[in-house]
Chain A
């Protein structure tokens, strides 16, 4: 195991995060705070409780999820795409590192950033609404699992992208709509039956539902199913990254 390489990549990426703290940390915290102000306070005060939970508190897990999913994808895709764009990727490709070590460095750093951002947003949310965490260990496990999974997904996106447009198209046109339609701001049970069925084809529903369960012991779908979908997504991402490194797809000619 090349621990020095993992450490070098990890430290390098973390340094990039602190160098761009405004973009990396303050921007997502500010946008989430605005969601709380608008949806939680202004609009939320006119919405009745959902499953016995105030609307502001109900949306908190969904907003954390929204932020960590978009930040995970953005951080890790940029982390690997930028060296490809500038040409500095040659150094990683010619270094004595395995793909697992490259992943630990890049995805580890991106996931750390996401966990930090998620924690800050959670702390920010607690300033606006009363948050209870019914299953703290599950909450941490879910948070880590989703951060790592979406960082892996972002890493794949960064490897696949051949231009800046491709890098932003998936988060903007696929992830964002799926997240907004995945129960961030509402319970699936509030939808008409047809849309409830359609929503079950949205994988993000399971992630948000599972994460919300860790807070309020209340979920749209079973926790086992949520966990299964999340772990399944992680495995699919891991296998895809493994295939990319084995074949050199868009990395090695």
Chain B
């Protein structure tokens, strides 16, 4: 797959001396949903703002569809739509007018059919004549998405698009994002809801302290870095884990009723059969068992904590 965004050794140091991006290199493929994860202040928004032209890079190179964002800014910016993290709105403008403004600003002739489709897809059509200041926070978020899509971008940056929105909008948003990907739009998503990245992303990047610490396909990441757990609900409470079981990675719940075994799925043997046999030997019996896999959130927390 060809690269839609190519970032090479990008750095950004703000006037106050804060180093927001340190030698960041990243390739984002055409038509993928890329989730950029990181704690607050990690550099996610700075990275997006550099690519969109809002922040000047200190050094490095960014290519959008093969064109440089500085020398070919007209071409690159016309391909990008941005939904910012905050909720800036033109308070006194109607939804329709503000979307028309966005389309024109990005060099596209008026196209009421396209805008109608966008507004309908975001359940905004009945609000098209409402001024922004009369809209709820969730609706304003939808308007920002509509504005970003008004000029039919090939790349869409969503900077925490579902922060503070209700479940319904989040689901709508996810549908819109998936549908855009199906149309070939490259979507770069930053989010604090790891569940969102887990649901939508093809690939995941983790940024911390201005450095990209990992870029991986989501499925591979979860397979490689994820852990599986077997939880056994014991017939009788267990005070201590017997020494005969010390070779297993076992944990006991506070109520002494659940015994948790963490294992690696990539190993040739999970050790489950041997554990069950050894449990019987030491006289530990259980009523029920269940397995679970660590979520992307667990992996993310582990990665970020490792960097601290």
Q: Tell me, rounded to whole Å, the shortest Cβ–Cβ distance linking B58 to chain A.
A: 10
B54 at interface by CB-CB < 8 Å = yes
Q: Tell me, rounded to whole Å, the shortest Cβ–Cβ distance linking B154 to chain A.
A: 13
B74 at interface by CB-CB < 8 Å = yes
A 14-39 contacts with B by CB, 8 A: 15-16, 19
Asked whether, in the complex, the Cβ of B86 is within 8 Å of the Cβ of A87, the reply is: yes
B147 at interface by CB-CB < 8 Å = yes
B263 at interface by CB-CB < 8 Å = no
Interface on A for B, CB 8 Å cutoff? 2, 4-5, 7-9, 11-12, 15-16, 19, 86-88, 90-98, 248, 252-253
Asked whether, in the complex, the Cβ of B105 is within 8 Å of the Cβ of A5, the reply is: yes
B109 at interface by CB-CB < 8 Å = yes
Subset of 11 A-B contacts with CB under 8 Å: A4-B105, A5-B105, A16-B92, A90-B82, A91-B105, A94-B52, A94-B53, A96-B77, A248-B56, A252-B53, A252-B55
With known contacts A5-B107, A8-B105, A252-B54, A96–B74 Cβ distance under 8 A: yes
Q: Tell me, rounded to whole Å, the shortest Cβ–Cβ distance linking A78 to chain B.
A: 13
B12 closest partner in A (C-beta): A253
Q: Which A residues lie within 8 Å of B52 (CB)?
A: 90, 93-94
Q: Tell me, rounded to whole Å, the shortest Cβ–Cβ distance linking A250 to chain B.
A: 11
Asked whether, in the complex, the Cβ of B105 is within 8 Å of the Cβ of A15, the reply is: no
- Among A2, A12, A96, A252, contact of B101 (Cβ-Cβ < 8 Å): A12
With known contacts A5-B107, A96-B73, A88–B55 Cβ distance under 8 A: no
Q: Which A residues lie within 8 Å of B75 (CB)?
A: 96
Bound Cα distance from A4 to B54, whole angstroms: 21
Bound Cα distance from A44 to B53, whole angstroms: 57
Bound Cα distance from A11 to B97, whole angstroms: 10
A sample of 20 more A-B contacts (CB under 8 A), given A8-B100, A8-B105, is A2-B74, A2-B107, A4-B104, A4-B106, A5-B106, A7-B104, A11-B104, A12-B101, A16-B92, A86-B89, A88-B88, A90-B52, A90-B82, A91-B102, A93-B53, A93-B54, A94-B54, A96-B74, A248-B56, A253-B14
B25 at interface by CB-CB < 8 Å = no
Q: Which A residues lie within 8 Å of B56 (CB)?
A: 248, 252-253
B84 at interface by CB-CB < 8 Å = yes
Q: Which B residues lie within 8 Å of A15 (CB)?
A: 97
Q: Which A residues lie within 8 Å of B108 (CB)?
A: 4
Q: Which A residues lie within 8 Å of B76 (CB)?
A: 96
Asked whether, in the complex, the Cβ of B107 is within 8 Å of the Cβ of A4, the reply is: yes
Q: Which A residues lie within 8 Å of B147 (CB)?
A: 91
With known contacts A87-B84, A90-B82, A248-B56, A4–B109 Cβ distance under 8 A: yes
Q: Tell me, rounded to whole Å, the shortest Cβ–Cβ distance linking B10 to chain A.
A: 14
Q: Tell me, rounded to whole Å, the shortest Cβ–Cβ distance linking B30 to chain A.
A: 20
By secondary structure, the A interface counts as helix
Give 1 or 0 for each of B1-33: 1 = CB within 8 Å of chain A CB. Answer: 000000000000011000000000000000000
Q: Tell me, rounded to whole Å, the shortest Cβ–Cβ distance linking B144 to chain A.
A: 10
B157 closest partner in A (C-beta): A94
A97 closest partner in B (C-beta): B105
The residue among B84, B101, B102, B103 with the most chain A CB atoms within 10 A of its own CB is: B101
Q: Which A residues lie within 8 Å of B78 (CB)?
A: 96
Asked whether, in the complex, the Cβ of B90 is within 8 Å of the Cβ of A86, the reply is: yes
A-B complex: 6 closest residue pairs judged by Cβ atoms: A8-B104, A87-B88, A96-B77, A96-B74, A94-B52, A96-B78
- Among A19, A86, A87, A95, contact of B106 (Cβ-Cβ < 8 Å): A95
Q: Which B residues lie within 8 Å of A97 (CB)?
A: 105
Q: Tell me, rounded to whole Å, the shortest Cβ–Cβ distance linking A87 to chain B.
A: 3
Asked whether, in the complex, the Cβ of A19 is within 8 Å of the Cβ of B92, the reply is: yes
The residue among B55, B104, B147 with the most chain A CB atoms within 10 A of its own CB is: B104
Q: Tell me, rounded to whole Å, the shortest Cβ–Cβ distance linking A238 to chain B.
A: 21
A2 closest partner in B (C-beta): B107
Q: Tell me, rounded to whole Å, the shortest Cβ–Cβ distance linking B107 to chain A.
A: 5
B207 at interface by CB-CB < 8 Å = no
B179 at interface by CB-CB < 8 Å = no
Q: Which B residues lie within 8 Å of A86 (CB)?
A: 88-91
Bound Cα distance from A94 to B54, whole angstroms: 6
Q: Which B residues lie within 8 Å of A11 (CB)?
A: 101, 104
